[in-house]
Chains A and B, each alone.
Chain A
Amino acid sequence: MSNIIKTIDVTDSLENLKDVCDIENGRIAGKIFYDQAIYEQELEKIFARCWLFVAHESQIPDTGDYITTTMGEDEVIVIRQKDGGIKVFLNACPHRGNKVCFAESGTTRGFICNYHGWSFNVQGNLVGQHESGIYEASDFDKAKWGLKEVAQVDSWKGLVFATFDPEAPTLQEYLGPMTWYLDALFDNQEGGTEFVGGCIRSTYECNWKIAAENFVGDILHAGWTHDSAARAMLGGSVAKVSDFDESYSVNWNGHGYEFALDTVGNVAVLGESALNKYLHTIKPSVAERLGEFRSNMIGAVSSCTLFPNFSFLAGQNTVRVWQPRGPNKIELFTWVVVNKSAPQEIKEKWRKGAMMTFSPTGVFEMDDGENWEYCTKTAKGRVTAAQDLYIGLGMNTLQRDTSLPGNVYKGQLNEANARAYYQQWFDHLSTKRWSELPDRNIGKKEAE
């Protein structure tokens, strides 16, 4: 236990944050996408404190299976334990800090540092060193020098999250009622989900929040930005969202899910009728499992971000993390998620469909990249970075009389989720610890 990380010292908050993020008045400023000082604050006050997505359970089924990823800019190893649990370690040797695992995934009995031969087992314990005799002569206590272990690790329906902060609330509290909505994709069939093999990584010159915000609640861009892709894949334009009778934006703790109830609006853009058919086939069993409401969400026009940087699209089944690499650069990690119980040919169609639409070669994603990079780059100008950006759509759409859990807003053409997202960002940057964080949730904690 002595190797568990204590949270880092938190510096004072920046002054005048409200000049660049004033959600009450529906405005933000481009400076939050470009400023180095703000980025440094994000690394310690958001990425070193929040629960971050690190793996899907299916990527590491057996003892010694591991993947490497990052939490913010900190490199970590996520590894399955003998007891079935999962541990997350800093991917850095406690001797001189060298990286101990250079592969992105694999199976191992431990890790040996290339520098001085410090050797660690699956539990992260230091079990040996090159020239071990000389350490004994220095009264060296091996037990104190294992790989540094991340404070908390937990999972929800196969999604594994970790936080560096021992004071962070439980994952269940952090996600709150969002889990009720997550189940529409991650628990709609017996056996749950799995990731397709591999991870596609690409590099954008954009701020991480621009991309995360796009998934938290910006379906507005789809009909315009993605017109060319929709015409290529469907031979026509994307579904006109303003025509839907019923759609929602729901948020909690800065997480947001926007969705319609059209069952197959998202999956349709993959241009594979077999996938639409699959969702229609399983829909009655989803209704039995989760109720009729959520059975309408399984591949509907929708998107979701869990604060701060984990996003997915139900239907396209793309899952991604926007890894921060400076104020104006990200590495995008993408995976494809499928139901474990789905027939092999259906999984295969999702693997290819996600690639065709939302990947570096995807016909949809190509137009997103341009937008996000230039939303970031224009903020290089001091005058431009200070100008007001409008974020006020749907100011009066809160649904007070609803049985749905979470903070529920009417309509998915709505910036309510984006506002909640930036408000959470502001609150984290304005406080030093979890206990000081204001609770701005107004909706129900559980479904009725």
Chain B
Amino acid sequence: MSAQSENQTEQLYPVSLEQHHKVSCFLAYEYRLLDEECFDDWLALMHEDVHYWMPGIENRRRENLLEHGFYAGDHMAYFDDSLRDLGRRVARFKQPSAWAENPGTRNVHQVSNIEVYYGETDGEYVVHSVFQSVRSRGLDEEYVIYGRRKDVLVQQGGSFKIKKRLILIPSATLSCKNINTFL
């Protein structure tokens, strides 16, 4: 995955144990909101300038790498969303005519390998994590997506807003038909 990681030489300052705990709890809470289909509450965790980005992964040789190795900012993506775009996705989930969501999809989102560092400005945090998303539909459909994330969180009151999210999966071919959830 070395071709995908950025800022390897960047000096990172880890936060206190207490702050690390707060961020961990926030990420767990965010995922429980998704599992419980509380999409409006989930959307409320987004910063107004959020960039929610999951680039497509391209299987390229080491001598032919892209801007960021296996992905590039101007190439095709799964998500490359602003708050308006995320709102539109949530709006579809809530339509009674979202036929493919009834019966619903049963979700379990898990987050681990959490590293929390001070960000560029006061009250900003850079958070690295690893996630696992398990979806089950119908009687026997099951889809698992693993990946790595890099978030920028902004402290707001006693909680956080998600200002940036970069989602990287290892797969160049998605092994399922869709991603009808957030990661």
Measuring CB to CB, which residues of chain A are less than 8 angstroms from any residue of chain B?
Answer: 102-108, 196-205, 225, 227-229, 231-233, 271, 331, 334-336, 348, 351-352, 355-356, 359-361, 363, 365-367, 369-370, 373
Contact = CB atoms under 8 A, between A and B. Distances in A.
Given A200-B56, A203-B174, A367-B100, 8 more contacts: A107-B64, A200-B77, A202-B173, A228-B96, A355-B78, A356-B88, A366-B178, A369-B100
For A106, A233, A335, A373, which residue has the most chain B Cβ atoms within 10 angstroms?
Answer: A106
Interface stretch (B15-23, B68-76, B111-119, B120-128): B68-76
Contacts of B98: 228, 366-367
A360 B77 CA distance: 10
B100 A201 contact: no
A106 B64 contact: yes
13 contacts: A197-B74, A202-B174, A203-B173, A203-B175, A203-B177, A227-B97, A232-B88, A355-B77, A356-B88, A360-B78, A367-B98, A367-B99, A369-B178
B76 A198 contact: yes
A369 B61 contact: no
B78 A335 contact: no
B76 A104 contact: no
A103 B76 contact: no
B97 to A, nearest CB: 4
B173 A201 contact: yes
Interface in B115-174: 172-174
A331 B173 contact: yes
Interface in B71-112: 72, 74-81, 85, 88-89, 91-92, 95-101
Contacts of B95: 227-228, 231-232
B74 A348 contact: yes
Given A106-B60, A199-B76, A335-B76, A363 B173 contact: no
A202 B174 CA distance: 4
Interface residues of B, number: 39
A200 B63 CA distance: 22
Give the dominant DSSP class at A's interface: mixed
Contact of A351 (B74, B96, B173, B177): B74
Contacts of A356: 81, 85, 88-89
A355 B179 CA distance: 12
A360 B174 contact: yes
B5 interface: no
B175 to A, nearest CB: 5
A348 B72 CA distance: 13
B89 A352 contact: no
Contacts of B77: 198, 200, 351-352, 355
Nearest to B77: A355
B59 interface: yes
Contacts of A200: 56, 76-78, 174
A103 B177 contact: no
Contacts of B78: 200, 355, 359-361
Contacts of B4: none
Contacts of B80: 351-352, 355
Contacts of B96: 228
Nearest to B74: A197
**Pairs of residues from A and B, 6 with the lowest C-beta to C-beta distance, nearest first:** A198-B75, A106-B64, A228-B95, A198-B76, A232-B92, A228-B98
B177 A363 contact: no
Nearest to A205: B177
A205 B54 CA distance: 24
A363 B92 contact: yes
Nearest to B67: A197
Contacts of A363: 88-89, 92
Contacts of B88: 232-233, 271, 356, 363
A66 to B, nearest CB: 10
Contact of A231 (B72, B89, B97): B97
Given A271-B88, A356-B85, A366-B180, A196 B75 contact: yes
